[in-house]
Amino acid sequence: MPFPYDDALLDQFGALPEDLYPARFDDISQIWVRENSFFYDKESKAIRVAVTHFSIWGLLVDLLKTLTSEIPSNITIKAPAKNSTKGWKRAQQRSVSISWEVSDSEIGPYQAQFLRVRRRVKAGEPYIVPTDWTKARTYTAEENRLTVHRPAGIYIFRVKIATSVNYSEARRFTVR
């Protein structure tokens, strides 16, 4: 049984024909069940599957791998222990270098956000992770690295591809 697909519709969702797969709806468990034995017929722009029984069939898109490949990962944060900047304007700030990985190095620009958790934390006192990212300092980076100057404190950082809605997992770091 052929399941035709439209390239223009796939482009609209940022998907490829390889992201498509046929599935049948299981009435008992009320979920879609992936059919693993199928092949892509690129000439007729269809996915073909051998159907052995009557059921509700559909063509689904596996966007999870596409979405997760867009989320920057392996974030590396380097904040020096001592102030390495010169001049009176930077006397109270430290240089923080951050880099991250993405599946495609041609993707960009990136939007990075820093949010100060708290100025000082007393020994044994837990830090409170803020959830209001509207107060975050936002930077744009053309490459997958960024250097900023931040005063001493505890921060959380997250990054995303500017055109994406999905941010990386937030990472905590301390500037001393």
Check residues 113 and 68 and name the one with the higher pLDDT. 113
User: Do 46 and 88 fall within a single domain?
Assistant: no
Residue 130 structure tokens: 């803020």
User: Do 41 and 95 fall within a single domain?
Assistant: no
Cis peptide before 2 (omega within 30 of 0): no
Calpha distance 174→78 (Å, rounded): 10
Residue type for 35, please?
E
Q: What is the pTM of this model?
A: 0.52
Domain-ending residue, one of 62, 87, 112: 62
Where in the sequence is the domain holding 47, given as residue range(s)?
Answer: 2-62
Return mean pLDDT, the chain: 77
Among left, alpha and beta (phi > 0; psi -120 to 50; other), residue 21 is beta
Confidence of residue 51 (pLDDT cuts 50, 70, 90): confident
> Does residue 72 contact residue 104 with C-beta atoms inside 8 Å?
no
